[in-house]
């Protein structure tokens, strides 16, 4: 089984400008992810970006870097078009989507989940993705409770029905299914539960600061 790790990075980020190359660990988010994946069992690392600066960083780290068409970086086309685009550049049989915005997933983690993925395929699942158990009280915009009944005896969030929050951290799928479904996991994914630390997904400035603080605290305790 051969696995190609895809690192998708846009040159422009709406919420946090320059997010994908913001300082992290002893480098930046992009270089950090490349180095983490280089320590894992993946067979190929492919960086897809519209940014010449980011492509240059990737090549300096010794991995394959391919220029992404501008219209696949400005969100004017469906996400599935990007999946098809990168799938045609791969050499591996399986695609691992590995965003830089999940910087707490390291090489050991990636190697372990490749093993989980292979077992999941043998057990009848068609793909793999990371999730976090979600148990929080939700209300809609009108103030109506969404997943709890105020008249019932639910007093603790742990008593709520278990749901999953997709962490966007890592997804793996056979390349043919990625093309078929135009997505990074299939119709019957194995949902791999991760803890809060490994569920970190940088979307805002607050997320970034929290990720840095948590990472530095974790590394400092090793």
Span 167-196, pLDDT tens digits: 999 999 999 999 999 999 999 999 999 999
pLDDT at residue 19 is higher than 60: yes
**Rounded CA gap, 35 and 31, in Å?**
6
Model-level pTM greater than 0.85? Answer: yes
Residues 6+ positions from 89 with CB-CB distance below 8 Å: 46, 48, 66
Q: What is the mean pLDDT of the chain?
A: 94
Question: Among 49-53, 165-169, 215-219, where is mean pLDDT lowest?
Answer: 215-219
**Rounded CA gap, 59 and 44, in Å?**
13
Residues 6+ positions from 183 with CB-CB distance below 8 Å: 79, 80, 83, 173
pLDDT at residue 222 is higher than 50: no
Would you state the pLDDT for residue 147? Answer: 87
State mean pLDDT over 62-84. 93
Would you state the pLDDT for residue 43? Answer: 97
Would you state the pLDDT for residue 83? Answer: 97
Question: Among 22-26, 207-211, 217-221, where is mean pLDDT lowest?
Answer: 217-221
β-pair partners for 105: none
**Rounded CA gap, 177 and 183, in Å?**
8
pLDDT at residue 4 is higher than 80: yes
Span 112-151, pLDDT tens digits: 999 999 999 999 999 999 999 999 999 999 999 988 888 8
What is the rounded end-to-end Cα distance, in angstroms, of the chain? Answer: 32
Going by C-alpha positions, the residue among 14, 7, 15 that lies closest to residue 206 is: 15
**Rounded CA gap, 59 and 185, in Å?**
28
CA distance readout (Å), 199 to 62, 142, 162: 28, 29, 16
- Reduce the DSSP state of residue 30 to 3 states and report it: helix
- Quick one: what percent of the chain has pLDDT higher than 90? 84
Would you state the pLDDT for residue 221? Answer: 57
Look up tokens 């600061």; give the residue.
209
């Amino acid at each position: 089984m051969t696995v190609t790790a895809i690192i998708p990075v846009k040159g422009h980020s709406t919420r946090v400008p320059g997010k994908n190359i913001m300082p992290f660990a002893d480098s930046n988010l992009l270089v950090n992810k490349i180095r983490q994946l280089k320590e894992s069992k993946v067979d190929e690392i492919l960086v897809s970006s519209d940014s010449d600066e980011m492509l240059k960083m990737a090549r300096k780290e010794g991995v394959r870097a391919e220029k992404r068409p501008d219209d696949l970086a400005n969100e004017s086309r469906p996400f599935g078009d990007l999946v098809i685009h990168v799938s045609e550049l791969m050499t591996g049989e399986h695609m691992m989507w590995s965003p830089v915005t999940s910087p707490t997933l390291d090489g050991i983690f990636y190697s372990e989940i490749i093993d989980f993925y292979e077992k999941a395929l043998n057990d009848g699942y068609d793909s793999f993705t990371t999730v976090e158990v979600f148990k929080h009280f939700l209300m809609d915009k009108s103030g109506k409770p969404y997943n709890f009944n105020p008249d019932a005896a639910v007093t603790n969030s742990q008593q709520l029905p278990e749901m999953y929050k997709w962490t966007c951290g890592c997804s793996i799928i056979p390349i043919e299914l990625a093309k078929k479904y135009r997505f990074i996991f299939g119709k019957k994914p194995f949902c791999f539960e991760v803890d809060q630390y490994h569920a970190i997904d940088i979307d805002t400035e607050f997320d970034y600061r929290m990720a840095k603080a948590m990472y530095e605290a974790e590394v400092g305790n090793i």
